[in-house]
Structures are given as C-alpha cells and as structure tokens.
Structure 1
Amino acid sequence: RPVLEAFLLLVPPVAFLLTWISVGWPHLAGGSRSTRGRQKRALAQLQKAATMADVASSFHIALATRFEHEATEGVTAWLSDARAITDAQTVEEITHVTRVLEQVQYGGQSLELNELRNRAIAVIRALDRQLSDRNVSTVPCHRQSRTKHAGRTASIVVMALGLLWNWHTAMAGTQQTRPIPATLSHEQRVQLFQEAADAYDAGLSHDSNDAASARVSFETAATKLQMLVDSGIRNDQLLVDLGNTYLKLGDKGRAAGNYYRALHINPRSAPARTNLAFLNQDKSASPIDSNRTSFESHEPDIWRRVIVATMAIPYTVLRLGLATAWCTAWLWFAAVVLFGKRWSKWVLISAIALLMTAGGLVAFQNFANPYSDIAVVATPHLQLRAGNGDSFPAVGGELPTATVATTLEHRDGWVKLNAGNGVIGWSRIDDVIITGT
C-alpha cells in the first residue's frame, strides 16, 4: 500500500513534467529530430510522385508533417494557423495548389504533372524556409486546438489514474478483517442486550458459590454481547462490558482486545483504562464495570462525537477524495500553464479545499488516536510466521495471550504484526483482536 500510494501521488506531477517538456522543448523528448525526419521523407516522396494521385497524397502528407494538427483534419483547418507564422503569398499558394489537385482528381481537369509537382515542392520549401527563420520545426496550432489536445491528454491520464485507483481500492477491499453480519433490528438488539445483562448478572450471583454455573452464564453473556458488537454497534461501554465478561472467563487476550477497541472509540474511557491497568497487574487498580445503560452507539460529549464521527468515515472514501483533489489541482495547473486555457479559479480553490479537508481527516485518523492499528493476541502461545501462511517459517518466539502489537498489513485472512524488539511476522486474523474492527 505505501508504494502504490506513493506511485499515485507522483503520477500527476510526473505527467505534467513530461507534457511540459514535450510542449516547451520537443527536442529534449526527441520530437524535433523525428519530426524533421518525417518532413524530409515526405518531401522526397513528393519529388518522386509519378501520378497526380501520388502528388496529391504526398503534398497532403508533407503539409501534415509541418503542422501540429492531425492529418485527418485537412488543409482548411491548418490555414488559419499558417497565417500566424507564414506570409500571405505562401498561404495563397497552399490554397491554390490544394484546389488544383482536387480539381484534377475529382473534376477531370488536365494539367501537366511536372508543373503541378514543382509548384507543390516550391510551396513546401517556402514553408520550410519560413519555419527555419522562426527557429521552429512545425506551425504551432491555435490555442483552441491545443486545448483539444490537452483534453485528450487529460482524459488518458484520468483514465489511467482511474484504473490504478480501482486496483488500489480493490486491493483495500480484500483487506477487510472480518465480515460484518447484517445489522440487527431494534427489537433484536433489545432482546440480545437484555439476555446478555441477565446472564452477566446471573454469573455474578453464582461466582462465589457455583463456579460451573457462573461460567455458563458468563459464556452466554459473552456470546450475546459479541453478537451485538459484530452487528456493527460502535459503543465503548458495550466493548468494556464484553471485555469484562471475557475477563470473568479468564480470557485475558480477548478482554484486553475489547478494552483497546473501546479506547479506539473513546480514548478517555476510564473503565477501559482502569481494567487494562488491572490486566497489567497494577495492584492499585481493580476491574470496574462500565455502568452500562444502553446497547446503542452513543457519544455523550462533543470531543467523543468528533472522534467517533471522524473514525466512522471509511478510509477508502478519504483516499478517493485526496486522489480527486490532487488530480483536479494538477489538471487545472496543466490546462492554465501549458495550454493557456482559462479555467475558473474556483475549480482550483475547491480542489485545494477538498485536498486540505481529506488530508486533515486522514492525518487525524492516522495520528490523532493512539489506539489505532493495534492488535492484541487473543490465543495462548501465538507463533508468528515469515509470510501469510502456515507453510512459512516461524519468526521469533511464541507470543503470550494479551500481547499488544502494531498492525502493518492485511492479506488473505492474515495480518502482519510488529510485536516489538524487532519481531515482525504474520498471524491469522482470527488469532488477534484488532482495534477499529
């Protein structure tokens, strides 16, 4: 991902630089040399023309190599640009020879072959002399024509970027950590939450005198709460309750993982912080409940509303906004600087505003929350691998449950982790709990 994002970032300025070189200094791109070669070959072909049809075709090709327009546009489209750099006599000769050739071909008018060929050659040589005096190899096309060429070039660039972006987002789509089930209805949420609360309270009542019954109750509560979380509810209190339930079951890995997920939603969650401190064997702390009052996603203060709203924006949408703004700004710059097109300044202002907004949100998502991209080992004795598969060799020693690592990359049901102390390897996604999921 970082390599591809860097590539997408560099495509617009590199395309602009190459276009700038080809427009401003065609000889640096080899354009001038190849153009003069085509001009010489076209003139030689005209000199060897043996029929009127050959003269007409060779004359048309010789003119086409000396204009920036495409050959299919015809001589009429070129004459307005020729007047800007050649004298009136040359323009008149071009028009006259063209009309005579058309009359000979289609009107049946008879004319001496050598005479017409010599006039055509004289016109081409006169045009070459005037181009040489101006120190150019071709007649510059009109601004409107340049804009048309710019539009075609921009379309190609946009199409290429679109394909690359589709590939990028498709790759990002395959990195979904776990499928999210269909959202539960309100009635189903109410029922699940009530059943989970009843089971948790029953487990607390049996905890001191009937360990087996207490465990069954806590397992039931964990199952119900996990279903609520998997349905897409973003609520730090619900995650703390789920973590506490796993802690009652002795599953420190899943308990710590859900506490970190709660902190990812609300970095100031006191129950999550306190219970993590208890897991880290801080004797001054003891596990506390979240004082649950609801199973719905909610954020009671403005700071938490801002964090949750920002974190809820899909990262793919932000990347798409960045790419759109970046490409729009460069297209505007290229159209104005290279091709002289007058685009509204509001296009650039809008692109810059979108670029700053999307960039700021990406930066906030990546750096403002210290609990992003965290993975907690949820199984005992996790062994990292050198690649995303069991066939790869082991990396480092076994990681105990509740070990905290940083996620680096997702691929085909595996996640690349940085466990610290230089230990970097791959784990199955099901063996860890990742914040933000």
Structure 2
Amino acid sequence: MLIEDVKKSIVNAGFQDGEKMPSVRKMAERLGLSVNTVHRAYKLLSADGRIQLVHGKGCFWGSAPSFEVKPEESVYSVVERLFQNDLDSGVLNAFDELPSCKELSNRYGVSPYIVKKFLMQKSSQGILRHVGHRFFFSEERTVGKSNYVLFVHRSDEFGRLKIESERESDVFRTFAQIAAEQKIAVKFIGYHEASNQFFVSDGSTFSIKNDTHCLGVFLSTWLVNDASKLFAHFAMFKNPISVWWEYAPDMVPVSARNRKKWAFYNVAFGKEAGVIVGRYLKNKNMGPVHYLSPYHASFWSKARLQGLIEAGAEVVPLVDERFASPFDLMDVAKNSGIDSQKFLDNVLGELLKSATLDKFVCSNDWVAASLIDYFKAKKLPAPYVVGFDDTIESYRYVFDSFAFNVGTMVKEAIYHIVAPTIYAEQRRQMQTPLGRVVEKH
C-alpha cells in the first residue's frame, strides 16, 4: 500500500476534532501494516496540519486539547526536599554523623548513587564534609576553651531569669546540655524590658558588645512585648544571632529582616502544629471536633485553627477572643481577685454551653486538663481530648498532646552560631521546627 493510501485510510477513519488517535502500534494492527509505515504516515499528516503530535500525550486529530504542563520534580530536587524535611524534624542532627548512603537511599526511595552524588555536591559547597564514606555537617570555627555563647532571656529588675512554663524549662535544659556536649560555655544574661537593661545573675548590669571570645547569641523573645527595642541593642553586633521567636513570622521587625547572620526559630507553633494535629485526627477517622481556645486574641490560636482546617479536619470552633495567652488570662484573673483556675473554668463553662460534640482539640494542655475536670464534675462521659505542649498534665490526665520539637530548635540554633555561613546557604531565615502528636493510652 502506497503511503498516500495509508494517509487516506487514516483520514477516512472518522476521527472527531480533538479526538485522541490510536497509538502507532494499534493503528498498524488495525490496518495490517508495519509500525514504521504508520509512523511515517502520522509524521506526514502532522506536517500537513491534519493531526497534532503532543509529546508525552499522544496524537490528536485536528486541534489538540490544551494541557496544563507541570514540570516534573527532578530526583535531586526530591532528595533535597526530603533532606530538608529531615533537618527540620530533627531526624538529622547538625552535630552528628549523617546516616549512611544506604540508609538515606532506603529512606528517600532513590539509589545509593543518587544519594552519594547529592551529598558530594553538598560537600563541594562546603555545607558537608566527608571522611572516607562518612559525612558530617561542616563547622566553620573551632570552639576554644575561652569561647562562649550568650543566652539572653527576660528577667526581673534584679537579673533573676523568668522561667514560668515547661517549654521554657525544656529550652534551658536542652540548650545547656547540647552546649556542654559541644564543649561550649554558656553565659546566661537577663533582659528587663521595663528598664531596657541587661543583667548578670548577681544583679549587676551587663552591656552588649563585640567580643572575640563570644561565638554568638541565643536571643529569647518569650513574653517580650517590644522585640525591636531588644533587637536595637544588637544592631552593631557582628557575630551570629539565633532568635527564639514567639510571634507571627510576619511580625519580625524590619530592622532584623534578612540580616545575614540572624536566624529565627518560630516556636509559637501555629499553623504547622495545627496541620500535624489535623492529619493525626484524619488518620484516626475522628470525625468532627470542637476547637476549644480561650486565647483566640493570639495569632497562634487562630493559626492552629487554620492548620486544623487546612489539614481537612472538620472543626467547630469554641473560642474566646479576649485573651492572647495563658499569662494574659492569669493577669486578668489576678487583677480581678479571682483564682486563675477558677477564672479559666468560668471562661470554659461559657464556651461549652455551645458544645454539641464530645471530641475536642484544646489550644493548650491547661485547657485540656480543665476540660476533663469539667466533664467529671458534670458526671458526663469522658470526652476525647488532644492538647498542645505535651506537658506533664497530659501524662497525669492521659490525653494525646502535640509535642513541640524543642531539641531540634536548640541544636539548629547552636549550629547556626557555630557555622553561620554554611547555615545560611542551607536554610531559610525563619525556621519552624516540626513536632508530633504523642499518643497516650
């Protein structure tokens, strides 16, 4: 059969405009011809404008339908993303040897060759160093015996550090422990916001200045009302600063944004924490839940609710927008001459008048424990409760709670101080260490 006859047979097959045509192989079978002959006919029809050849999609009669072109993620981009997630979640420790190529290969679902090539690329960039088959994160500066890190945290007017929550205690203990493991001395400095002054533990004042022995600063904004006033003291500071950031990411003062040696750790745990809890509930097929929060004047309470919704959880909010934090609520209770627990119970009692479900996500563990006590006092069946903070109360009352990844935050904060340039190459300025829900039975 002449090629023109083949073309004529295809034209007379009755295809509609935009219709996908059979593959070359199937058309060859239909016409009883060789694949090469049909392939040639398709190419000639395409040159005539009778059919459209779309790479990866096939052949179409007349005009081809429009396709959304989605660029494929390269295998190296996949490894980069998964490696970054492991660093965020604490699977990888900036101070420890990395898992072997074989272990990472199994974890990321790619060949050991791809993993090794990725790690060697990071080594050539100076982010990693390798000794034989072993890989480590690089350290720019050796830590000498006379070197130290400043840990700045709010204090009273006498320099006594204010440590009033389990999370604060965890940060202090973890920081001191990891610094000791790395043989880094830590100097704890108090910041009294009302007087805008720094103090050492004996109550004498302290001045921020550049010191060749100071590797950098771990700067806490926990319950600091005006972070820009605190940051102003470090405007001329030359060494790295890791900021424990307790507010919305977009609230970082302009003066501190995109500074090369500054890294921020968003440990207010807002939307990301809500998403993780929401996915946890979805995996348990939990169904609709109430989100119970007396602190909905805060960005983090709103963000946690948003995260729950974005994760696909079915949520009915029960919220009070008068208070921005547990400390805010306690201050109002104190000024009203009411015990803070009784005050919280009254607030929750009002919110629970609108409750229609027996499953709750509570904005923190204090609320969760108080909710359980409320149901017991009313002699109602125990509700399902998940909280945030994974405090000792969640173990005493035995309910699920979101554990903030304090360990990862502290390790990365110290690593930034030891290797600021390498860190800047690898990370964004605002980090959000990931946590997880701790299930209890």
- Structure with the bigger percentage of strand: 2
- Report the TM-score when normalising by structure 1: 0.21
* Structure number with larger C-alpha Rg: 1
- Report the TM-score when normalising by structure 2: 0.20
